[in-house]
Structure 1
Amino acid sequence: MTESTPLTTPFNARTTAAEIVAGIDLAGHRAVVTGAASGIGVETARALAAAGAEVTLAVRSVEAGERTAEDISATTGNKHVFVAPLDLADQASVAAFTAAWDGPLHILVNNAGVMMTPETRTPEGWELQFATNHLGHFALATGLHPALAAAGRARVVALSSVAHLRNPVDFDDIHFRVRAYDPRVAYAQSKTATVLFAVEGNRRWAGDGITVNAAHPGAILSNLTRHLSPAELDRTVATGGYVFKTPQQGAATSVLLAVSPRLEGVGGRYFEDCDEARRHAPGASGGVADHALDPDAAARLWQVSLDMIASA
C-alpha cells in the first residue's frame, strides 16, 4: 500500500477535549456516547454538552449515568443530557436501545469497552472483548444507521487502541474456540476490528453523508485498566513508551473526529494524538497497522459481523 500524507491539525497529545470544542456551536445536534459514565466517556460527553449538543449517555449502570448527567449539566449549564441503558455484550439490550431511538442522530461515539478480561463468553458463546468492543458497537451503529442518515451530515467515532498493532482479526477462530485464550490477543483483535469497522462503514455510508473514523485515545488510567495488575501496568508503560494522559486529554481525539470542521468529509481513517496516524513502522511505538486498514479484511469482517448478529 502507498501512503498519502496524513492529515494533521494544530492540536496534539496534550490538547484537551474542551480546547477542541472551543468556539464550536453544536446547538441542534444530537449525540450518543457509549460508556459515558466513567473515564474518557465522561469527558467526551461533557465537551459535546459544553458546545450545546443534546447528549445521551448510553451506559450499563443507569444510576451511575444519572450521577454523571447531573455533573455534566452542572458544569456546562446544558440541561439536555439524558441517560439510556445499554449493555453492549447483550444484543437484546442493543436492539432495545436502537428501537427506542427517535429522530436524527448527528454524532455517535462508540467509546465503551473492556480490556484484557479473563476468558468470558456471552450467551451466544462469543468471546467477551470481541462481543463488547466490536459486535455490540457494530449492532448499535447499524441499528442507528437510519437516524444517522436522517441527520444529513453525521459522524461516527470508533474507539480503537495502539494494541491493534499486535494482532489482526483471526477469521478462522475469532472466539478462541480452538486456540488457547490470551486476553492480550483477544483485546488486540477486538481493536483491529474497530478500525476495520471504520474503513468499511465509511465506504458503505459516505453516500448517506455519514463519515466513520477510528481513534486511539492514548494511555489513560481508568476503569478500562482494572484487569491489569500493577506489574502489568508497569510493563505496558515500559514496553509501549506510554505517557499517561488525563481523561480530558484522552477524550480530545474522539471529540476532534466528532466535531471539528477540519474533518468534514474525512472518513475511514485512524487518528492518534489529534492527527491522522502514519503507517506503523517496525520498532515505532504508534501508527496504524496495514492489517487494520485492509479493505478486503474490512469487507469480510462486516459480513461476518452481520452473520453473527443475525444468528444471535
Structure 2
Amino acid sequence: MMASKPIASTVTGPAVSAVLPALLSRPYPAVMGILNVTPDSFSDGGQFAAPEEALAQARKLVAEGADIIDIGAESTRPYGSQPVTAEAEMARLKPVLADVIALGVPVSIDSMKSEVVAWALDHGAAIANDVWGLQRDAGMAPLVAARGVPVIIMHNREQADPAIDIMQDIAAFFTRSLAIAASVGISPDRIVLDPGIGFGKTPEQSMTALARLSELDAFRLPLLVGASRKRFISTVVPSEPQQRIGGSIAAHLIAAQNGARIIRAHDVAETVQALRVAATIEGQQ
C-alpha cells in the first residue's frame, strides 16, 4: 500500500452526511458529470486542463443536469496513464476546485491518494471517489471514517485476466474493501460500490459486469456505474471515444435496469434525457 502522511480528523457536518441520501432518493439514477483537469485522460485529456476551460465545462455539466461533479487531476485510465505526485494533483486542482464547488452541486474528488482527498475535502468537496477501493493507500479508509463523507469503492485489478470469473473477483474485492471500511468505522450508509467498468477487465468482462450487475445487490449497497466512452464499446462497433455516446447510453440504461443508482458520464445532457425517459416509460407499465 502507498504510504500516506498523517491527516487531521475533522468530522463533517449534517449537510455533507445528507448528500448521498438526497442523491439516491429520486426515481431515476443520479448523474455524475466527469471533469478531468488532466493532460492525458483517455477521452478528453487536455481539453479542460486550463482553469477557465475546466470551469466552463463544469458550468456546462451542471446546466445539462449533472447531480454531482466528479473532478480528477490524475488520469486513472486503465492503460497508458502516467502517475503523478500528490503535489501535482493539488496544483491542478487549486485553480478550479473552489469555483466548481461554488456552482452548488456536490463535488466528488477522484483520487487514489488520501493526501489529495483530504485537501479537497478541506476545500469543500463532499465525496471521496477511490478507484482502488480503500486498498491502495492505507490512509484513505481512516480519512473517510474521520470525515464522515460518502465514499465510492471501485473494483480494480493491476491487469486483466480473461480466465477468471469477473463477478467472483469483484465480489471478493468488495468483501475485502468492506472489511477495511468496517475496521475503521465507516458507516455502511455512506458507501457506494462501483464495479469498475474497463478497469482490470477485458472488454468481454466489462460487458459481463454490466449484464450481471444485479448480482452485486447481495451487498445491499447502492451501485455506481461508469461505462462512459469506454473501450469495450469499440469492440462491438469500432469507434473513437467521442463517437461512443450511443454505446455509453445503451450500457448505462442496462446498468440502471440492473440496479445502478448513480451513472458517471461525460455526455451529461444525453445521459440525463435517456435515464429520465426510460424511467418515465417504465413508470407507465
Query: TM-score by structure 2 length?
Result: 0.36
Query: TM-score by structure 1 length?
Result: 0.34
